[in-house]
Amino acid sequence: MNLSHRERIEACISGKALDRVPVMLWRHFPVDDQEPLRLAEATIQFQKQFDFDAVKVTPASSFCVKDWGAEDVWRGASEGTRDYIKHPIQRVEDWIKLPVLDPTAGWLGKQLVCLKAIVHELGKETPVIQTIFNPLTQAKNLASRDKVFLWMRKYPDAFKQGLKTITETTIRFIEEARKTGIDGIFYAVQHAQYGLMSEEEYREFGLRYDMEVLEAAKPFWFNMLHLHGEDVMFDLFVNLPIQAINWHDQETPPSLVEAKEKFKGAVCGGLLRYTSMVLGTPDEITAQSRKAIELTQGERFILGTGCVVPITAPYGNLLAARKSVEIV
pLDDT score recorded for residue 165: 99
Q: What is the mean pLDDT of residues 212-216?
A: 98
Domains of the chain plus CATH, in order, are 5-327 (3.20.20.210)
Cα gap 249→227, rounded to integer Å: 10
- The tens digit of pLDDT for each residue in 157-200 reads 999 999 999 999 999 999 999 999 999 999 999 999 999 999 99
- The tens digit of pLDDT for each residue in 234-256 reads 999 999 999 999 999 999 999 99
Give 13-18's long-range contacts (Cβ < 8 A, gap of 24+). Answer: 13/222, 13/243, 13/244, 13/265, 13/266, 13/300, 15/299, 15/300, 18/298, 18/299
Cα gap 26→134, rounded to integer Å: 19
Burial readout 12-48 (b: 16 or more C-beta within 10 A, e: otherwise): bbeeeebebbbbbbbbbbbebbbebeebbbbbbebbe
Is the separation of the CB atoms in 242 and 223 below 8 Å?
Answer: yes
Residue type, 131: T
pLDDT score recorded for residue 64: 98
pLDDT score recorded for residue 1: 81
Q: What is the mean pLDDT of residues 140-157?
A: 97
Is the separation of the CB atoms in 280 and 247 below 8 Å?
Answer: no
The average confidence (pLDDT) of the chain is: 98
Q: What are the beta bridge partners of residue 301? A: 267
Q: Is the bond into 254 cis (omega within 30 degrees of 0)?
A: yes
pLDDT of 301 above 60: yes
pLDDT score recorded for residue 327: 72
Q: What is the mean pLDDT of residues 126-146?
A: 98
pTM for this one? 0.98
